[in-house]
Amino acid sequence: MTEPNSNPPPPAPAPDPAPAPAPPPYTGDSHAQNAQQPPPAAPLEYGTPGSDKPQYTGPAPTTDDRNMATIAHVLGIVTGFIGPLIIWLLKKDQSPFVEDQGKEALNFQLTLLIGWIIAGASTAICIGFVLMPAVLVCAIIFGIMGAMATNKGEAYRYPLNIRFIK
């Protein structure tokens, strides 16, 4: 005869705990991973020329939109009107923010082109030698200011700008 097993039967396995919630998708910003997602930004409002409000109205720009607008302003410093023209033509139908800022950068570069022509023509009477550095400084400073503002997602308006393209 066989003896009954004196060991108690092994305990039943415990049910698996509830799975942990999936982490939020990676957004590229390591600091934002632990923070709550902010509510979507309200569209920017129209402003009048010379006011503190930007004239751009539309959806909040994405990171790609901000980068392309920043590139348009920076290329204006390096390539004149050619860089902003290319960015504006390529992206004007895809993003309202890039269309607005590309147009703004292009208009400013065309305004600077007029300044360069006047400075070049006036070198014969020695005024151009003062105007050329002034135009260059304006191009660099305002281009950097535009790039910094658009990189933050803000619409930038150049203070000295003839808006050829509306």
Contact 128, 121 (CB under 8 A): yes
The set of residues, in sequence order, having a beta carbon less than 8 Å from that of 160 and lying 6+ positions away, is: 108, 111, 138, 142
The set of residues, in sequence order, having a beta carbon less than 8 Å from that of 102 and lying 6+ positions away, is: 68, 69, 72, 84, 87, 88, 91, 92
C-alpha 89: how far from its chain's center? 17
Q: What would the pLDDT profile of 87-127 be if each residue is shown by its tens digit?
A: 999 998 999 999 999 999 999 999 999 999 999 999 889 88
Q: What would the pLDDT profile of 2-52 be if each residue is shown by its tens digit?
A: 565 667 677 776 666 666 666 666 555 555 444 555 445 544 444 445 555
**Residue 20: its pLDDT value, please?**
64
Confidence of residue 158 (pLDDT cuts 50, 70, 90): very high
- pTM here is 0.66
Structure-token pair, residue 7: 């060991």
User: What is the distance between the alpha carbons of residues 52 and 143, in angstroms, rounded to a whole number?
Assistant: 18
Q: What would the pLDDT profile of 55-69 be if each residue is shown by its tens digit?
A: 677 788 889 999 999
